[in-house]
């Protein structure tokens, strides 16, 4: 069957959205941006690991070199005040702050106490603040966990499978693997009273690893949830073993092996966010993540120096790709909502290229993760570079769910 990747996206000019999206016309048509609800703080701009696929240090954008090492106290308090301003202006009842890096734990335990206090003092009590961090966990000792518990900061850990799979990529600069330290941290995290902080594990896909063995290795740590991330890449810099124009589906094949193992399990072993989101979309619900579906993206990044950026993984596209030219000292989050690059990820179907608009799985796929659509010369108005994989995986899950629903109804 022909893949829906057509050639019409190949020679479009000018680059979309920055030089081609007409925000004034959009507003005149009645469109309004959705307020931000997720704020990703880059609290530390260095890392203690040297993962070879890292989009912060190993890819096109090297802006981390000019950033402060740890987010200064005045940036924290100004960012907290800006969030409070946004909450009040849009009458938000819930916001999420995600602490990220580099490696966020390198900011030290005291930093998290200060940051949590700043945020909780600034944000009105009738707005729920959910605080979480994503860490490589090598510094996650008991002392750190006690500080995170006291400040109600939930913890997600990055791990790519068992020792061999993980240490192939997630190692120190001297080549020493990180698995043993991360495994010890995960054992602490899953033990009461710290287990209430445990949100799950993020695993970046490596086709060289066996998919089911990877899934089962992660299950050893009893994560409430796990997610499998497609490695970053785009049409100009394709991901590993994903030739841009190829109809092969190595990533779908890898994920389908896990889906079949997970879906057929007699009991739910763990949530797998990517699969659960696709099932939810198949059943007509909205998506909660930016990697799939058409729900407007409402996440903004606050860098360690207070500059505002778009989604962090755009760093994999080209130098300066996530930049907005705005900062928390001089600009509100509403100012960021006026940027074409932010609006482009909130347009739903209207933000898709013609190929995706005609696709049979359009409302489920939504062209995948925004950075994966980039092509030098025409920007982001393209299908995902993972298009054949997304199409195959979504069809596989959709058909399986529909078959089960039919069986249920007829029985």
In the complex, the residues that contact ligand SF4 under the rule CB under 6 A are 4, 355-356, 359, 361-362, 365, 367-368, 383-384, 387, 390-391
Question: Quick one: 135 or 355, whose CB is closer to ligand SF4?
Answer: 355
Shortest separation between residue 358's beta carbon and ligand SF4, angstroms: 8
Shortest separation between residue 274's beta carbon and ligand SF4, angstroms: 14
Question: Quick one: 157 or 359, whose CB is closer to ligand SF4?
Answer: 359
Shortest separation between residue 288's beta carbon and ligand SF4, angstroms: 18
Question: Quick one: 326 or 356, whose CB is closer to ligand SF4?
Answer: 356
Question: Quick one: 108 or 348, whose CB is closer to ligand SF4?
Answer: 348
Q: Which of 221, 166, 170 is nearest to 199 (CA)?
A: 221
How many residues are given for the chain?
Answer: 411
Identify the residue whose tokens are 């890449």.
Answer: 233
Question: Quick one: 96 or 362, whose CB is closer to ligand SF4?
Answer: 362
Burial of 407 (0-12, 13-18, 19+ CB in 10 A): exposed
Identify the residue whose tokens are 């899953």.
Answer: 190
Shortest separation between residue 382's beta carbon and ligand SF4, angstroms: 8
Question: Quick one: 136 or 346, whose CB is closer to ligand SF4?
Answer: 346
Shortest separation between residue 356's beta carbon and ligand SF4, angstroms: 3
86-102 residues labelled b (16+ CB within 10 A) or e (exposed): bbeebebeebbbbbbbb
Shortest separation between residue 227's beta carbon and ligand SF4, angstroms: 19
d(CA 56, CA 44): 12
Shortest separation between residue 380's beta carbon and ligand SF4, angstroms: 12
Question: Quick one: 308 or 352, whose CB is closer to ligand SF4?
Answer: 352
Could you tell me the sign of the dihedral formed by the alpha carbons of 274, 279, 282, 287, in that order? negative
Question: Quick one: 306 or 383, whose CB is closer to ligand SF4?
Answer: 383
Question: Quick one: 142 or 350, whose CB is closer to ligand SF4?
Answer: 350
d(CA 79, CA 118): 9
Cβ atoms of 291 and 34 within 8 Å: the answer is no
Shortest separation between residue 393's beta carbon and ligand SF4, angstroms: 9
Residue of minimal CB distance from ligand SF4? 359
Shortest separation between residue 13's beta carbon and ligand SF4, angstroms: 21
Shortest separation between residue 38's beta carbon and ligand SF4, angstroms: 23
d(CA 40, CA 132): 10
End-to-end C-alpha distance for the chain, whole angstroms: 32
Cβ atoms of 160 and 214 within 8 Å: the answer is yes
Shortest separation between residue 387's beta carbon and ligand SF4, angstroms: 3
């Amino acid at each position: 069957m022909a893949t829906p990747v057509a050639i019409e996206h190949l020679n479009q000019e000018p680059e979309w959205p920055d030089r081609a999206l007409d925000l004034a016309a959009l507003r005149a048509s009645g469109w309004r941006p959705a307020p931000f609800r997720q704020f990703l703080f880059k609290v530390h701009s260095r890392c203690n690991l040297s993962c070879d696929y890292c989009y912060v240090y190993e890819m096109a954008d090297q802006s981390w070199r000019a950033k402060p090492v740890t987010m200064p106290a005045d940036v924290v308090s100004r960012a907290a005040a800006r969030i409070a301003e946004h909450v009040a202006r849009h009458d938000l009842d819930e916001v999420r702050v995600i602490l990220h890096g580099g490696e966020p734990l390198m900011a030290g335990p005291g930093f998290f106490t200060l940051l949590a206090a700043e945020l909780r003092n600034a944000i009105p009590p009738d707005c729920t603040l959910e605080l979480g961090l994503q860490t490589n966990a090598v510094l996650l000792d008991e002392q750190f966990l006690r500080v995170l518990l006291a400040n109600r900061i939930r913890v997600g850990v990055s791990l790519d499978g068992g020792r061999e799979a993980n240490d192939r990529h997630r190692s120190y600069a001297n080549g020493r693997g990180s698995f043993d330290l991360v495994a010890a941290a995960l054992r602490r995290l899953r033990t009461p009273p710290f287990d209430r902080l445990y949100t799950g594990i993020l695993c970046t896909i490596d086709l060289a690893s066996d998919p089911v063995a990877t899934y089962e290795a992660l299950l050893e740590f009893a994560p409430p949830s796990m997610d499998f991330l497609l490695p970053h890449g785009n049409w100009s810099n394709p991901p590993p073993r994903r030739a841009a124009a190829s109809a092969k589906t190595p990533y779908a094949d890898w994920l389908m092996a896990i889906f079949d193992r997970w879906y057929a399990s007699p009991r739910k072993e763990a949530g797998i966010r990517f699969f659960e989101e696709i099932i939810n979309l198949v059943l007509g619900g909205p998506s909660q993540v930016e990697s799939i579906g058409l729900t407007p993206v409402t996440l903004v990044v606050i860098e360690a120096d207070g500059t505002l950026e778009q989604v962090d993984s755009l760093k994999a596209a080209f130098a300066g790709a996530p930049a907005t030219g705005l900062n928390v000292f001089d600009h509100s989050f509403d100012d960021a909502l006026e940027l074409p690059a932010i609006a482009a990820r909130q347009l739903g179907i209207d933000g898709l290229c013609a190929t995706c608009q005609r696709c049979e799985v359009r409302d489920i796929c939504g062209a995948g993760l925004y950075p994966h659509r980039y092509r030098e010369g025409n920007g982001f108005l393209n299908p995902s570079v993972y298009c054949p994989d997304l199409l195959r995986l979504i069809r596989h899950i959709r058909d399986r769910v529909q078959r089960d629903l039919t069986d249920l109804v007829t029985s």
